[in-house]
Structure 1
Amino acid sequence: MHKQRMAVSVLALLTLAACGTESGSGAGSGDGSGTVRTDLPVTGVHWSVSSLTVGGKKTAAPAGAHVEIDSQGRASGNLGCNRFTADVRIDGDTVTVGPGTTTEMGCEEDLQQFEKAMGRTFSGKLKAAVTGRSADRALTLTTAEGDSIALTAQPPAPLTGTAWKVTGLVSGSTATSLPAGTEGRAHLTFGKDGSVEGSLGCNSFHGRAKVAGSSITFGPLASTRKMCPGPEMELERTLLGVLKGRTTYTIEHRSLSLTAQNGKGLGASAPAAKG
């Protein structure tokens, strides 16, 4: 009887120990206390900013705006034009964002306005709510005043096979929007066979693009020759200047940057991933 009671006691202790270390819906605290964390799963995810609501007014986010929070308490991302970093602390469903730093690229007025509003909203104590699962996850960050940031989880996009939509132009350290009326018209897709095709905003094109390391070398491009309104032709001339010869490229998750040797470049984004 004594041995049986001992066996039951040992089994109970093992069960309690297992319960104390089980992660459940959160990760273990790692501090040796055996408590279960209730932090929301917001770290290690690329959160694309969908929209920003301030004072009851909802504004769609520029392409490329995103937030990433790592396990070391550091947030980084893009405010719509400039990149940022900041310290963060997660406690339950509260995300506290400390002072941060940003790059200082010149941006057009509409992007600057969004960045300022985004910077003010993504600061201090925010209530976080995550809905959905895996690639369908959505995150909402809400201030004490009721302003909010809506974000969605997005997987990375590969260079090849992605229909990259041109979203902006770059000249040195200055970023500009596309000419009025040309939004959504220009795009390019790289093939695994070294081909490239797409639209310059007016005419369609195809050609060769050799990828090596961080560079893409474009061969002569063949295109259709129809005439289009002034802004579309302006965009076409600019893109032809970028997609010529050797360029450097970077991909940040679902954003592509191409820069020619003369400092002219373009920014493009991948379409939203479907869950």
Structure 2
Amino acid sequence: MSYRIALAVLLLAVTTACGSPSAGQGADLRGKVYVSSSVTEQGKPRAMVEGTRVELRFTDDGRLMANAGCNQMQGPVQVDDGRLAVGELGMTAMGCPKPELHQQDEWLSKLLGATPSWKLDGANLVITGSNSEIVLAPEQPATLEGIWTVNSLVTQDAVSSVPEGVKVTITFKGGNMLVDTGCNLNGAETPYVLDGQTIKAKLGASTLRSCGPVDEVENAVRATFENGEATHEIDRATLSLTNASGAGLKLGK
């Protein structure tokens, strides 16, 4: 083999190995969840509805689950040749509280349904359509420490949403739990002990004035810790607190 031929073969091998950064990376997406860090449309930042983000979850069985703040979308996905091909993308029909959320759902559905390109830029996933680009970072596992907002009230028979306009938070910080309902439970520090999945805490006495819709949530918080402890479970960005009878709360970060 001549020197020139050997050099050409060597260059071809190097180009093949280094020139296709997304080759073989499809398997790396399985089992991962990505959340948007930036969204652009026609080269300009696209404003997301306050409190929302794009979430893409690639399941181990080859499905894509997507959310833009309201309805859940999902469908089988292929990631060959740097393209995200979602077949039969279905979407729930939940009534969103704001029309802007419906519009955001439709925008994301249209983007994912148009076989956008994808690539990994370091740890980030970049999805690019004809007019839009989403940069998504790997979701970091949530920890108990921090501020959690109560989203749902759980009984033995049902799960109900928090009344509209009511915001209740529970903060875990440095061995103290702070419940803030804006009414009777107003952020006083309560020491807690974490024993495996059990949170041991006694809320103590508080005022008992009526605060309208807040009362329902305050009663649910008290019931959750009525025996001085509750079981906790964290699934992605959702915290479940449950008492011995099965009642409790679901909270989000």
TM-score interval, smaller chain: 0.5 to 0.7
Which of 3, 12, 18 in structure 1 is aligned with 2:8?
Answer: 12
Contact 2:162 2:217 in 1 (8 A): yes
Using the aligned pairs only, state the percent identity.
Answer: 22
Q: Which residue in 2 is equivalent to 1:170?
A: 154
2: distance between equivalents of 1:222 and 1:63? 35
Q: Name the counterpart of 2:191.
A: 208
> Kindly tell me: are residues 200 and 141 of structure 1, through their superposed partners in 2, closer, same or farther at Cα, counting changes over 3 Å?
farther
CA 1:77–1:129: 2 relative to 1, 3 Å: closer
**Taking structure 1 as reference, are residues 64 and 247 closer, same or farther at Cα in structure 2, changes over 3 Å only?**
farther
Match of 2:62 among 63, 69, 73: 73
**Aligned pair 1:219/2:208, yes or no?**
no
Tell me, yes or no, if the aligned pair for 1:64 and 1:254 is still in contact at 8 Å: no
Number of corresponding residues:
240
The aligned counterpart of 1:199 is: 180
Unpaired segments ≥5 residues, structure 2: 40-46
Bigger mean CA deviation after superposition, 130-139 or 154-163: 130-139
Deviation at 1:182, TM superposition (A): 0.6
Give the equivalent residue in structure 1 for 2:233. 250
1:47 aligns with 2:35: yes
Q: How does 1:66-145 map to 2 (within 5 A)?
A: 66-70=55-59, 73-76=62-65, 86-92=75-81, 94-98=83-87, 110=96, 122=109, 125-128=113-116
RMSD (Å) for aligned C-alpha atoms: 4.8
The answer to whether the 8 A contact 2:86-2:115 is kept is no
**Between 249-258 and 71-80, the greater mean CA deviation after superposition:** 71-80
1:233 equivalent to 2:215? Answer yes
Task: Please state how far the C-alpha of 1:267 moved relative to its aligned partner.
Answer: 1.8
Contact 1:75–1:87 (Cα < 8 Å) also in 2: yes
8 A Cα contact 2:84 2:117, kept in partner: no
* Cα distance in 1, alignment partners of residues 91 and 201 from structure 2: 36
Q: Deviations over 1:38-85 (max 9, x none)?
A: x7x96633336999xxxxxx9959879843115762334779799886
Closer/same/farther in 2, CA of residues 262 and 80 from structure 1, 3 Å limit:
farther
Contact 2:150–2:249 (CA under 8 A) maintained in structure 1 = yes
Distance 1:247 1:228, change over 3 A: same
Query: TM-score under structure 2 normalisation?
Result: 0.65
TM-score by length of 1: 0.61
Structure 1 stretches lacking a partner, 5+ long: 30-38, 52-57, 271-275
Q: Distance in 2 between matches of 1:150 and 1:12?
A: 38
Task: Give a deviation string over 1:196-246, Cα, whole Å, max 9, x none.
Answer: 223134222332333333x22332114653745211222111111123444
**Compared with structure 1, are the counterparts of its residues 167 and 161 closer, same or farther at alpha carbon in structure 2 (3 Å cutoff)?**
same
Worse-matched range after superposition: 80-89 or 165-174: 80-89
| Conserved 8 A contact 1:159-1:190 | no
Show structure 1 runs of 4+ deviating over 6 A.
48-51, 61-65, 77-85, 100-103, 129-138, 148-151
Whether the 8 Å contact between 1:209 and 1:216 is mirrored in structure 2 is no
The one-letter amino acid paired with 1:216 is T
- How far apart, in 1, do the equivalents of 2:133 and 2:226 lie? 39
Cα 1:223/1:42, change in 2 over 3 Å: farther
